[in-house]
Amino acid sequence: MAAEKNDWLAGSQGRGQGREGARGAPRLPPTRQESEAAAADRAAHREARERRDALVRGVVSIGAMREAIKAAARTLPAISQVPRVKAPGTAAFRARAAQGLPFLVTGVVDRWPLAGLTVQALRDHYSHLPVRARVGDYINTAFAPDRAMRDMSLLEYLDLAAAGTDGLPPYLGNLELRELNRLCHWPSYFDKMGPPRFWLGPAGTVTPLHCDYDDNVFAQVWGTKRIMLAPPHHDEFLYPNEANAILFGSPFDPEAPDFDRFPLARQAATIECIVNPGDMLYVPAGWYHQVRSLTFSLSSNRWARAMPLALRGGAGLRAAR
């Protein structure tokens, strides 16, 4: 299930063929019947995926879960900063997460072997790893099916990042790097979690505003990042676009707000959170977040694959067994 959030991140593999066929003859536009068939196929694929996602999370439907998350968020108190707590046990973490608000956990990530690694150690021991880098304008194409990506080795990426660029720096995001998993000791805060995903890049890399309808723990291993947060029920002010049933993006940039283009966003409550090396941020399901690297950073996250903790058991949402 790790691929479900990564579908919108993958680069297209059929680029470069243009509008002409193999023999150079212009292609005819698709017939109406073909277009309708393609639309029907996409709808069927989406329905099948939503059923699968709901089954994994044990809910009657993803749509019902999304609405329940937003309804619960309307009862949340307003907060102006994200609190820090010292390495809670599983029961204490779940009790706090059930309140539906983000918080930072300290005293966990800084003990990981990965935290003691250096960039030179990545070069020395992991340079062969195949990676897929986000290149070009990966902010404005974040939710496009054919965003620009480039396959390379980790060493090639580190060299590319070190060379610098006038535009957005290249970014390794949402990657499974299984060779690094043994260097991370994740606490058992959730009964069922997706695999670790890794994020590596210099200052200036950005993941634009979006929300995942799964609970998320985000570990800052090296460096510092700024994360802008907004509660789930404020999606009505954020002009959301659906990437899939559990992932929604927003064109609004809370770091450089354009209220002429997005006037409703004036009503959205945003919170700035700085995550430092060793911090672990809990992002409750449905909370919008935008992530910017302030320094060269290595981060890792995991999404839960279960009923969000803020729903407190989800009365009426659980699928019959």
pLDDT in tens, 254-307: 999 999 999 999 999 999 999 999 999 999 999 999 999 999 999 999 999 999
Helix segments in 224-280, DSSP class H: none
Q: Indicate if the pLDDT at residue 26 is higher than 70.
A: no
204: left (phi over 0), alpha (psi -120 to 50) or beta: left
The string of pLDDT tens digits covering residues 80-91 is 999 999 999 999
Question: Residue 59 in contact with residue 65, Cβ under 8 Å?
Answer: yes
pLDDT band at 7 (very low <50, low <70, confident <90, very high): very low
CATH assignment at residue 305 = 2.60.120.650
Look up the pTM and report it. 0.87
Write down the pLDDT at residue 37.
83
Give the count of domains, the chain.
Answer: 1
Q: Which tokens sit at 234? A: 């404020």
Closest CA to 237 of 213, 261, 273, 221: 261
Closest CA to 86 of 276, 304, 280: 280
Task: With respect to residue 173, please indicate whether it lies within any of the assigned structural domains.
Answer: yes
Task: Give dist(CA 263, CA 41) in Å, integer.
Answer: 36
Residues 6+ apart with CB under 8 A from 60: 54, 317, 318, 319
Q: What average pLDDT does the structure give for the chain?
A: 90
**pLDDT (average), residues 101-121:** 97
Task: Give dist(CA 287, CA 308) in Å, integer.
Answer: 12
Task: Give dist(CA 292, CA 256) in Å, integer.
Answer: 12
Task: With respect to residue 91, please indicate whether it lies within any of the assigned structural domains.
Answer: yes
The string of pLDDT tens digits covering residues 166-217 is 889 999 999 999 999 999 999 999 999 999 999 999 999 999 999 999 999 9
Task: Give dist(CA 303, CA 290) in Å, integer.
Answer: 16
Q: Indicate if the pLDDT at residue 311 is higher than 60.
A: yes
Q: Indicate if the pLDDT at residue 223 is higher than 90.
A: yes
Q: Indicate if the pLDDT at residue 106 is higher than 80.
A: yes
pLDDT band at 27 (very low <50, low <70, confident <90, very high): low
Task: With respect to residue 76, please indicate whether it lies within any of the assigned structural domains.
Answer: yes
Question: Residue 58 in contact with residue 318, Cβ under 8 Å?
Answer: yes
Task: With respect to residue 9, please indicate whether it lies within any of the assigned structural domains.
Answer: no
Closest CA to 278 of 82, 93, 123, 104: 104
Task: With respect to residue 38, please indicate whether it lies within any of the assigned structural domains.
Answer: no
Q: Domain span at residue 253?
A: 50-310
Q: pLDDT over 70 for what percent of the chain? A: 89
Task: With respect to residue 31, please indicate whether it lies within any of the assigned structural domains.
Answer: no
Q: Which residues of 162-191 are buried (b: 16+ CB within 10 A; e: fewer)?
A: eeeeeebbbbbbbbebeebeebbebeebbe
Write down the pLDDT at residue 230.
98
Phi and psi angles of residue 7, each rounded to the nearest 5 degrees, phi first: -55, -45
Find the range with the poorest average confidence among 8-17, 30-39, 245-254.
Answer: 8-17
Residues 6+ apart with CB under 8 A from 188: 90
3-state helix/strand/coil string of 237-251: HCCCEEEECCEEECC
Task: With respect to residue 17, please indicate whether it lies within any of the assigned structural domains.
Answer: no
Task: With respect to residue 269, please indicate whether it lies within any of the assigned structural domains.
Answer: yes
- Over the Cα atoms of the chain, what is R_g? 20
Closest CA to 11 of 152, 176, 149, 143: 149
Q: Which tokens sit at 75? A: 């009862």
Amino acid 144 reads A
